Amino acid sequence: MTSWPDDDVILYDGVCIFCSRWVRFVVARDSERRFRFTPIQSAYGTRLARTFGIDPEDPDTNAVVHGGIAWMKSDAALTVLSHLPGWGWTSALFAVPKPLRDAVYSLIARNRYRIFGKYETCFVPDADMRARVLE
């Protein structure tokens, strides 16, 4: 696996309404302010995506760098959730076979714009969250 020097960085699609809501969900629960964020449309996000084989023009996954390793699809979501206060129980979902978890993840990812919509430009975080965004 390829490693990355920054840790606990969530890569997300900044024009995807569902993805932006995911970021807000994490921010609201991350009382330790562990995670930082980067939209795939930023220079930093594009570089991170390309390093891990994600097409920045057509991303099919979010990712999180944790422990220096990029986790993708359902592994990324569960890694983030399981490190949020009160959400540790979600680590039990790693017991669900990865092909099944990723199939559900991919179904949602492929249809995210159609189901949830899309911003015209990248989601703009509030001032508190902006301090945690890497661009």
Look at residue 15 and tell me if it is in a domain.
Answer: yes
**CB-CB contact of 132 with 32 (8 Å):** no
Look at residue 24 and tell me if it is in a domain.
Answer: yes
Summarize the confidence of residues 62-69 as an average pLDDT. 88
Q: Please state the domain count of the chain.
A: 1
Q: Residue 3 has what DSSP assignment?
A: B
Look at residue 76 and tell me if it is in a domain.
Answer: yes
Look at residue 2 and tell me if it is in a domain.
Answer: no
**CB-CB contact of 30 with 87 (8 Å):** no
Look at residue 134 and tell me if it is in a domain.
Answer: no
Summarize the confidence of residues 98-104 as an average pLDDT. 96
Domain with 23, as residue range(s), is 9-123
Instruction: Answer whether residue 63 shows pLDDT above 70.
Output: yes
pLDDT at 123: 65
Whether the model clears a pTM of 0.75, i.e. scores above it, the answer is: yes
Query: Using 50, 70 and 90 to split pLDDT, how confident is the model at 5?
Result: low
